[in-house]
Chain A
Amino acid sequence: MTNLCLGCRINKILVLVLAVLVLGLALTNVLALKVVLAVAGLLVAGVLYSRILNLCHEIHVLDDLCAKVGDGDCSGRITRIRPNSELSRVSDNFNRALDQMETFFRESRAAFEACSQRKYYRFCITQGMHGNFKDGLEHLNQSLNSMATSNEFMLRNEFLTALAGMNSEAMQGDLEDTVSDSQAILQCVQEIVHETEKMGAVVSSNREKVEFSKVRIHEVQEQGAASNKAISELQELSSEILSHAKGIQSIAEQTNLLALNAHIEAARAGKHGRSFAVVANAIRELSDEVHRLSEKTMQNLNRLAKQGELVEGSAKIMLSEIDNIQEVMSEVLEASTHTQRAVQVTMNGIRTVKSQAETTEKRAQWIKLKQTAFLAFNHGHDSQEALMFKTAHSGFNDKEFRLLQQAVMRMDENFRQDREQQMEILNIMQNMGGTGSKSFLELDQNFKVGRVGEHVKSQGLLKAVS
């Protein structure tokens, strides 16, 4: 019976007073005193009775509240309890317990709701909570924290998957273009190889022809030089003949002079000289004839010399022309050597390009295949697209392909939740038109701080991208 409350003490005193009054009433014989004691006793009994009634009422209130709490309703409280009454401390403590309970439930509920809306800054507030309630909220905060972490991770995965999906679709188109481009390049290169080979052959054949012409021209040159020599000799010969002719002419002139003298002497001799005069006359006629013939010969020889000079001149011109032609042909030959080498280098280069283009085409084909697989499995591991792909490539058992399958399976799990969020991301991505690294980093950052919703909605991000 330690630490009694004020109400209890009053009750105790009232009971004692009542007991004393009853005892007094029993012991006294004085009527007046009996009456006084009886009245006082009735008053005390009345006060006690009223207090007991109040207490009963308050106990009933408390009982009702306990029943509500038992039914899981913590919203009730005890109010208007008489100050310092028997139940005031009980009700205060009970209210305190209910405050802790109700706050606990409201905090945990609000924090989990916020977490599901990705408001990770809203965790359970433990300030003012006590004992098990405080511990409980701290534990919930740990759970919320790991939920936030895994949500972030999931969001990242979804985002990356969506990004990869979009990239894949774009890449698929790009790859198709690349493959067809590579094929076109290959065809062009093949044509170039063909034409270059033809050109090489033409260059070689031209070179042979030039070499042949060079030999022929050399022959012509030699012949020209021989003719030149012959003409020189002819000219020498004709000048010699000319000097001989001049000699003959001077002999004819002397003979004529001699014949004239002989004729004079014959005339002086008279008759005896007549026959001599005939001879002298015949000699003069002969010498005239010789003079005339040698004159004609000289004229002819002069004409011959002139012709020879002309022939010699044109032979020299011809020879110098042949020299020029030979020079030009040497240059042509040298140039054709260069051309031949260039053609060879070009051919080597083109062969390299051709083999590179073939490799590129094969590589592009391979990437295209992987992308097709990715897109097919992106629809789900058991989707129609995936099944079609598996059927089409049943013999396909590459290591990378298996890795791809595993990645796709993981992706399937991550894709189950939060369709709405996913659609939002996809819309954003499509609005962006491309996948700039800046926007990617921003989105990524927002995932980390858990403010995707607001930032996805805000036009600021789109502005940053455009």
Chain B
Amino acid sequence: MYGILNTMIRPEPNNQEKILRESDFIVSKTDPKGIITYGNQIFIEYSGYSESELLGAPHNILRHPDMPALVFKLLWDTIKQGREIFAFVKNLSKDGSFYWVFAHVTPSYSLDGRLSGYYSVRRKPKDGAVSAVVPIYSQLLKLEKEHGRSRGMQLGSELLDRTLSEAGMEYDEFVLRLQNQ
């Protein structure tokens, strides 16, 4: 109970960055509603929360205010359709610092075929990839702040579609090619 209460206070972001190690990845599991059911030691280390604080907390406690809502909408829309998704995400630590991850989320199913939750692996993103997505994200965020969340996300979605069609790729290919360039 203490842990959940502790995670309800959103930390104040500062500009300190933590860089993920190349050989590690963060692993976490959630239930179908996004409530954390497992986090590995790397997750505990980078998020700054203890295991007891993380378990039972919603995954969005890590959401950084610099992240546009559209990215998480896209993420949830995709995984709810049973598909995997890749995304570059800026996460907020308990101490207010941030760390960029290249997140991969896949749905989990129980043996009887029911959705049992989601599985997320977060790796160190390529430097070039982060500098490519930062201007896109800030444009999306600006739209959401200027036009309100719902209208802003709609305009942001159109902007994203244009960016992708200019690149001649679908979203998946776009982000994977950024990470593997």
A contact residues vs B (CB 8 Å cutoff) = 73, 75, 77, 79-80, 92, 95-96, 99, 102-103, 106, 110, 119, 121-122, 125, 127-128, 130, 454
Instruction: Judge whether B119 and A80 touch: CB under 8 Å.
Output: no
At the interface, is chain A mostly helix, strand, loop or mixed? Answer: loop
Contact B124 A95 (CB under 8 A): no
Beyond known contacts A95-B41, A128-B123, A130-B23: 12 more, CB 8 A cutoff: A75-B119, A79-B37, A79-B51, A102-B27, A106-B106, A119-B173, A121-B173, A121-B180, A122-B172, A127-B124, A128-B25, A128-B121
- For the complex, give the distance between the alpha carbons of A80 and B52 in Å: 7
Inter-chain contact B22/A127, CB cutoff 8 Å: yes
CB distance from A70 to the nearest CB of B (A): 15
- B176 nearest CB neighbor, chain A only: A121
Taking CB atoms, residues of chain A closer than 8 Å to B170 are 454
Give the residues in chain A near B37, CB-CB below 8 Å. Answer: 79
- Per a CB cutoff under 8 Å, which of B23, B38, B104, B116 touches A125? B104
| CB pair B172 A103 closer than 8 Å | no
Q: Nearest-CB distance from B21 to chain A (Å)?
A: 9
Instruction: Determine if B18 is an interface residue (Cβ-Cβ < 8 Å).
Output: no
Q: How large is the interface on B (under 10, 10 to 19, 20 to 34, 35 or more residues)?
A: 20 to 34
10 of the cross-chain contacts (CB-CB < 8 Å) are A79-B37, A79-B38, A80-B52, A95-B38, A103-B121, A106-B121, A121-B172, A121-B177, A122-B172, A454-B170
On chain B, the residues within 8 Å of A119 by CB distance are 172-173
Interchain CB contact (< 8 A) of B108 among A75, A79, A127, A454: A75
Q: Which residue of A lies closest to B20 (CB)?
A: A128
> Considering the chains assembled together, what is the distance between the CA atoms of A110 and B177 in angstroms?
16
- Do residues A128 and B24 form an inter-chain contact, with CB atoms below 8 A? yes
Known: A99-B40, A125-B123, A130-B23. A77 touches B29 (CB 8 A): yes
User: Within 8 Å CB of B121, what residues of A?
Assistant: 103, 106, 128
In the complex where A106-B106, A122-B172, A128-B25 touch, is A79 in contact with B55 (Cβ < 8 A)? yes
Q: How far is the CA of A103 from the CA of B177 in the complex (A)?
A: 20
Cα distance, A99 to B116, chains bound together (Å): 17
Task: Please name the 10 residue pairs, one residue from A and one from B, whose CB atoms are nearest each other, closest first.
Answer: A128-B25, A99-B27, A77-B38, A127-B123, A121-B173, A128-B123, A110-B84, A121-B176, A106-B106, A103-B121
Closest CB-CB distance, B32 to chain A, in whole Å?
A: 14
CB distance from A63 to the nearest CB of B (A): 19
Beta-carbon nearest neighbor of B54 in chain A = A79
Interchain CB contact under 8 A, B111 and A73: yes
Q: Which chain B residues border A79 with CB–CB below 8 Å? A: 37-38, 51, 55
A residues near B124, Cβ cutoff 8 Å: 127
- The smallest C-beta distance from A432 to any residue of chain B, in angstroms, reads 21
Within the complex, what minimum Cβ distance (angstroms) separates A181 from chain B? 46
Check B23–A122 contact: CB distance below 8 A.
no
Residues of A within 8 A of B24 (CB): 128
Known: A127-B124, A128-B121, A454-B170. A80 touches B23 (CB 8 A): no
Q: B161-177: contact bitstring with A at CB < 8 Å (1 yes, 0 no)? A: 00000000010110011
* A93 to chain B: closest residue by CB: B41
Which of B25, B51, B111 sits near A103, CB closer than 8 Å? Answer: B25
Q: Tell me how far the C-beta of A457 lies from the nearest C-beta in chain B, rounded to whole angstroms.
A: 11
Chain B residues contacting A106 (CB-CB under 8 Å) are 106, 119, 121
Within 8 A of A (CB), among B1-58: 22-25, 27, 29, 37-38, 40-41, 51-52, 55
Which residue of the partner chain A has the closest CB to B108?
Answer: A75
Bound state CA distance, A119 and B86, in angstroms? 14
Name the CB-closest residue of B to A110: B84
Report A374 CB to chain B, min CB distance, Å. 37
- With A110-B106, A127-B123 as given contacts, are A80 and B27 in contact (CB-CB < 8 Å)? no
> How near does chain B come to A308, taking the closest CB pair, in angstroms?
112
Instruction: Report how far A110 CA is from B24 CA in the complex, Å.
Output: 20
Task: Kindly state the separation between the CA atoms of A454 and B23 in the bound complex, as whole angstroms.
Answer: 35
**Whole-angstrom distance between the alpha carbons of A102 and B170 in the complex?**
27
